[in-house]
Chains A and B, each alone.
Chain A
């Protein structure tokens, strides 16, 4: 590749790096399986209206608690609502909440993590606060916050973002701490670049890979946590069909109609499995690059 007569432009190098990265990811078997699984679920959720033309909230008292069959692929619930339609629409709600929390924790993590690593005076305060938030076991903090704020989709997103942002903040802080000591940052300081430019162009641009891996896992954990919140009754309020809501409603009919709870759980497990596989693959592919970066520094 060094045989090119003219030096390739920065954009060309970036594009080539991105291409090589994508190829390596797709060659990683578990990433590929995870991606196919996850994208299939996203596609089904996006096409919910086409795949399941039934209104997920339409009651049909002539078809109460019907077992899965030709007419209702996943059966119906106690109101005769079509579980297949509810699960597909529910996946939309769950995926939307997951994506929102990924964006929220991503932004919060970058801001808090970078400030903590870059401004010494803030490090102690910020990171001890994050430690404190992480001291609440499991999803207990999210449950408590969501119940205090009141049931709404936005409050669920807020509660989960607050609960999971310590993880992303820690990851960003750790990688900024490494990157800010590298020679190219020193050079940037030497040529008189301002703080904003140093942080955005030099430090953040080179320290976000671990965050991407972490966000994949945050997405997975959020899908699980949303289901738990809904199950306990502090999730997005019914009749909105979130996957957790459907399982919660199915709990009372677990003897006579186990399919109500069964199918949404399978969709949750498949979504989370896909995300976990993708996260594992991303970590495998990204990590060696990071190691090389550290050795170069």
Chain B
């Protein structure tokens, strides 16, 4: 197991190198003068020169790359111009909102998706199956931010049950926090629920055709026991892998959903930075979210290795 973990960690190294290189080159592909873009239209030449020096834009690319990696190894991602503070601090401060939103959405997506998938598999080729799969496909096909806007129209504007946006920290009011997170989490979860539902359905159909299910049926177990204890357990294994990929999709999706609902997460920080051309924040935010995604995938692989010994010992 330890060997598997180590080999998995080593394989993440080239990925992280590519990720950091892309983030570094991001400022290099900006056409024109980055410093004057950051400084804005009414900046003096001195201010622009100062920014250029701070960013190291006056030095050769190779030296900038060396500096970038050196600072990176010390956890220093540079300073944000507009916030006038360290990028690492700014992103870290906002990250809990994004991660909690993604975690709630992931839980919702798995619970709803598995239920929908089981419902479809048990009613294979009947109207309930087709209905469930249509719903799943619909979720996959909708733009999440648009679905979010429509939820706002119905539940916040028309019915007035939930706020149209904004954030209440859980330390202030738990109910307020739950209310502020409900629509964003539903928005994110609904689009991902479809993926889980489709996988659960095909996994369940596969499992229900296996010998052990026939045996369970032969010894007189109830339908519920067969479905939930025997078949579902085996159908769930691939979902662990999908959950890893999905974490990435959800973190990426949270960027947009945070913008729709004005949640103060790292996604909104990045989007705000894009609109104000605050490149250090864009670079740092991108690097940190990708880093988290890589880490989550390692955790998922290790979990998968624990669940299925075949993975651990190589195919």
A-side interface residues toward B, CB under 8 Å? 128-129, 131-133, 135-141, 143-145, 147-150, 220, 224, 227-228, 231-234, 244, 247, 250-251, 254-255, 258, 261-262, 264-265, 268-270, 272-273, 276-277
B14 touches A277 (CB 8 A): no
Contact A140 B289, CB 8 Å, known A220-B141, A227-B146, A265-B142: yes
> What is the count of residue pairs linking A and B with beta-carbon distances less than 8 angstroms?
152
State the Cβ distance, A90 to closest chain B Cβ, in Å. 13
Return the chain B residue nearest A221 by Cβ. B140
Query: What is the CA–CA distance of A150 and B26 in the complex, to the nearest angstrom?
Result: 12
Determine if B143 and A268 form an interchain contact, defined as CB atoms under 8 angstroms apart.
yes
CB pairs A–B below 8 angstroms (29 shown):
A128-B14, A128-B18, A132-B21, A135-B18, A136-B286, A136-B289, A136-B293, A137-B250, A138-B249, A138-B253, A138-B255, A139-B256, A143-B255, A143-B271, A144-B286, A145-B26, A228-B143, A228-B256, A231-B259, A232-B256, A232-B274, A234-B274, A254-B152, A258-B153, A261-B150, A265-B147, A268-B146, A269-B143, A272-B141
Chain A residues whose CB sits within 8 angstroms of the CB of B290 once the complex forms? 135-137, 140
Measured as residues with beta carbon below 8 angstroms from the partner, the interface class of chain B is 35 or more
Contact A231 B141 (CB under 8 A): no
What DSSP secondary structure best describes chain B's contact surface? helix
| B137 close to A233 (CB less than 8 A) | no
Q: Is B157 an interface residue (CB 8 A)?
A: yes
Nearest residue (CB) in A for B194 is A276
Assess whether A139 is in contact with B252, with CB atoms less than 8 Å apart: yes
Name A's interface SS.
Answer: helix
* Nearest B residue to A146, CB-CB: B274
When the two chains form the complex, which single residue of B22, B149, B250, B282 contacts A261, counting CB atoms closer than 8 Å? B149
A129–B256 CB distance below 8 A: no
Q: Which of B27-35, B47-55, B209-217 contacts A (4 or more CB under 8 A)?
A: B27-35
Closest chain A CB from B214 CB (angstroms) = 25
New A-B contacts (5) at CB < 8 Å, excluding given A144-B282, A233-B274, A258-B153: A132-B17, A136-B293, A144-B270, A232-B274, A254-B157
